[in-house]
Structure 1
């Protein structure tokens, strides 16, 4: 796998289409693709650049967030094709629009429904993270990421839970659990920022409801290859981007996964597999 070549593609797309518009977007460059969900000219231009260049690396279908917004049936390609690229050209678009630095450019290669390689570039800081199934997770400083287990005491755990898409009852249970942890926030609302924070030790767990594949395939592989547990909270099955069910819990090892699952969503308590 040409890991560095894909990293360079994401960096080049950020340099050409995204960074020049950070804190410089005009009103006409921001629109709503669905009610409450914004998209910018930077999202669309970056995806076009990345799509074209990835096809030169490996000529398989590209499933991008913005292309799928225009043609929802494209999402079926993730299940139907033996190999596909996934692209999130600008993860954390609301942060980008607001002028914040918490946004990322992400890609993943999916083979037979499993993520086999992943890339996350954070343009505002220049950081990049990569992972290859069975070969590990890496920062761009060449250091392999190896996540240590989290503390056993819930009062020492730091996590993030995105509650916006939860049912009112589930949201109330998550919010009620906050005092049990050292810190429970909504995170940065950018998977390309928060998954690396989990993999490098700044967070101990992440809870998501919506699991669109371009949002989670890169970070889930990065976290798993770093030693984290990333599984569905309802049945503890491992994450796959061809599975469109809601709900995903990522944590610093099986013990932390069990603790977070029990306190955040106490209606049932499956044990993590593996």
Structure 2
């Protein structure tokens, strides 16, 4: 657990942090419409990939490698163990000079996330989780207290960008029942720790790319929360293409309450 945390921090120090608010012309590209990538993403992923393979020689499914060759993501189904890597989560924030970005990694065995790491460079915060063993922030054990039982006192995040217009309108209208709803931080590596730390009570996602959601889902569940599909099935990392909703909450009762409010007709 310690060595992987060191690898992320080292890669960040080498390839990411020196370019924060210092990206040169030509170091920011568009890999898909509305999706940015920088030399920091690519260089950090190369460093992390090499060092993780030295630690445990299994396939590495990195966000930027999959962008170049989507078939690499199939290892999540075919291989007994896989590393998942997001070299710069929140690239749009990074490009804009906002501090809300993270460097993330997960270890997946037989389709289940068994360990995860989130490094937030600008906040010098390291989150990690191990299946069945707990979650930590900078070495301090995380235990998420129950959220308020009243929906009107809950605070959360609604990520509705990829929802079809009809359902998006319903979700956004239903959010009026909550105390406070935030549009999010454009970085799962910032948002998930917010639930584990107690800053938010829930998050609703629609598109769930595995490198974005495997690290935080394990962090939240090991801190006592819930990360589940809208049918109640536990989150498991899947190849890109899964867009059927994911609800993350502080505890089981909050998950049920939030789902009922969001899905109300």
- The TM-score, its normalising length taken from structure 1, stands at 0.94
Q: What do residues 59-86 of structure 1 show as CA deviations (whole Å, max 9, x unaligned)?
A: 1000000000000011100111000000
Secondary structure of the structure 1 residue equivalent to 2:141? coil
Aligned mates of 2:166, 2:252 — CA distance in 1: 26
- Shift in Å at residue 262 of structure 1? 1.3
Aligned mates of 2:66, 2:8 — CA distance in 1: 19
Match of 2:151 among 150, 154, 157: 154
Match of 2:68 among 67, 70, 80: 70
Equivalent residue number for residue 180 of structure 2? 183
- Shift in Å at residue 152 of structure 1? 0.5
- Shift in Å at residue 171 of structure 1? 1.0
Q: In the TM superposition, what are the counterparts of 1:1-274 in structure 2 within 5 Å?
A: 3-140=1-138, 142-233=139-230, 235-242=231-238, 245-246=242-243, 247-266=245-264
- Shift in Å at residue 27 of structure 1? 2.6
- Structure 2 unmatched ranges of 5 or more: none
Aligned mates of 1:125, 1:223 — CA distance in 2: 19
Secondary structure of the structure 1 residue equivalent to 2:40? helix
> Mean Cα displacement is larger for which, 36-45 or 167-176?
167-176
8 Å CA contact 2:209–2:238 kept in 1: the answer is no
Aligned mates of 2:6, 2:188 — CA distance in 1: 20
- The TM-score, its normalising length taken from structure 2, stands at 0.97
- Shift in Å at residue 265 of structure 1? 2.5
> Where in structure 1 do 4 or more consecutive aligned residues deviate above 4 Å?
none
Equivalent residue number for residue 272 of structure 1? none
Aligned mates of 1:245, 1:227 — CA distance in 2: 25
Root mean square deviation of aligned Cα: 1.0
- Shift in Å at residue 166 of structure 1? 0.6
Aligned length: 263
Aligned mates of 2:184, 2:263 — CA distance in 1: 18
Aligned mates of 1:189, 1:181 — CA distance in 2: 21
